């Protein structure tokens, strides 16, 4: 399974970073986790057809995590898609999402594919999609609105994406994480509803986490300085996420 960082910035975006979203690609299809800027152009850069994107999982409905959806749908229509697209959101957000799709007049583009809104209950962990050799589940984050993190298990390997959150006990209790993609909105400054790199380093159980990639980053934060102050055994496990890089799980 390949995991691509489609964007790595916090809500304010960055000079060289787009808002944070991910593409999870297995042998048969792709899942987009949130949709930030220019999804069509980025899929082209990755040489992935929009047809391969079978589902979109929204971790929450803050603008920086969803605003690329109209463009993605527009591109799927231009590509003459006929396969349904599943969009996952919290059940409380369903009505709002359906209204947004109505306002976009999605059904009036004469699209030939069905947009299916699927819901999860954000407060409790649940499996939302499965394939032959993978299982994707969501679990509650600690953010200012209903928000989930995403866990992907592929052939026994575990990827966890924190989404927007304070340090999260739900992640800490996972016994083995091969790749943790975690938000670090600041380097050491405390910020409500988000995590700093310093907090992240001090909170998680590092014997259970193989490697960490930082996303949801903010320009001009002293990440490298904080990294340099961490014990070597933690520091070596942490990578600063870069745009359009792919990690194989």
Residues forming contacts to Zn ion in the complex (CB under 5 A) are 11, 62, 64, 164
Nearer residue to Zn ion within complex by CB, 64 or 221: 64
Instruction: Provide the minimum distance between the beta carbon of 198 and Zn ion in the complex, in angstroms, as a whole number.
Output: 19
Instruction: Provide the minimum distance between the beta carbon of 26 and Zn ion in the complex, in angstroms, as a whole number.
Output: 25
Instruction: Provide the minimum distance between the beta carbon of 234 and Zn ion in the complex, in angstroms, as a whole number.
Output: 24
Instruction: Provide the minimum distance between the beta carbon of 116 and Zn ion in the complex, in angstroms, as a whole number.
Output: 24
Computed on alpha carbons and rounded to an integer, the radius of gyration of the chain in Å comes to 17
Instruction: Provide the minimum distance between the beta carbon of 226 and Zn ion in the complex, in angstroms, as a whole number.
Output: 20
Nearer residue to Zn ion within complex by CB, 164 or 199: 164
Nearer residue to Zn ion within complex by CB, 11 or 40: 11
Nearer residue to Zn ion within complex by CB, 64 or 90: 64
Taking a C-beta distance cutoff of 8 angstroms, is the pair 246, 2 a contact?
yes
Residues 6+ apart with CB under 8 A from 64: 10, 11, 13, 19, 20, 36
Nearer residue to Zn ion within complex by CB, 154 or 194: 194
Taking a C-beta distance cutoff of 8 angstroms, is the pair 150, 163 a contact?
yes
Instruction: Provide the minimum distance between the beta carbon of 20 and Zn ion in the complex, in angstroms, as a whole number.
Output: 6
Instruction: Provide the minimum distance between the beta carbon of 43 and Zn ion in the complex, in angstroms, as a whole number.
Output: 21
Q: How many residues does the chain have?
A: 249
How far is 133 from 37, CA to CA, in rounded Å? 30
Q: Which helix (H) or strand (E) holds 44?
A: helix 39-45
Nearer residue to Zn ion within complex by CB, 51 or 189: 189
Nearer residue to Zn ion within complex by CB, 65 or 151: 65
Residues 6+ apart with CB under 8 A from 59: 33, 34, 65, 138, 141, 147, 148, 149, 150, 161, 163, 164
How far is 1 from 57, CA to CA, in rounded Å? 17
Taking a C-beta distance cutoff of 8 angstroms, is the pair 198, 231 a contact?
no
Cα–Cα distance list, 41 to 7, 49, 50, 68, 101 (Å): 12, 11, 10, 11, 22
How far is 159 from 209, CA to CA, in rounded Å? 10
């Amino acid at each position: 399974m390949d995991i691509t960082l489609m964007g790595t910035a916090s809500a304010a975006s960055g000079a060289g970073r787009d808002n944070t979203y991910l593409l999870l690609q297995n042998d048969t299809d792709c899942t987009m986790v949130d949709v930030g800027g220019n999804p069509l152009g980025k899929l082209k850069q990755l040489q992935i057809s929009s047809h391969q994107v079978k589902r979109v999982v929204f971790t929450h409905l803050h603008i920086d995590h969803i605003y690329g959806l109209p463009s993605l749908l527009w591109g799927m229509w231009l590509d003459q898609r006929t396969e349904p697209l599943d969009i996952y959101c919290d059940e409380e957000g369903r009505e709002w999402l359906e209204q947004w799709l109505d306002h976009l007049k999605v059904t009036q583009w004469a699209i030939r594919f069905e947009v299916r809104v699927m819901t999860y209950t954000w407060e409790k962990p649940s499996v939302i999609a499965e394939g032959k050799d993978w299982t994707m589940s969501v679990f509650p984050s600690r953010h200012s609105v209903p928000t989930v993190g995403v866990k992907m298990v592929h052939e026994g390997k575990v990827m966890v994406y924190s989404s927007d959150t304070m340090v999260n006990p739900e992640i800490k209790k996972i016994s083995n994480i091969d790749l943790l993609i975690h938000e670090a909105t600041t380097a050491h400054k405390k910020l409500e509803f988000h995590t700093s790199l310093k907090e992240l380093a001090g909170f998680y159980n590092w014997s259970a986490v193989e490697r960490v990639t930082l996303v949801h980053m903010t320009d001009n934060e002293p990440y490298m300085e904080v990294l340099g102050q961490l014990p070597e055994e933690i520091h070596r496990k942490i990578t600063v996420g870069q745009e359009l890089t792919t990690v194989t799980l």
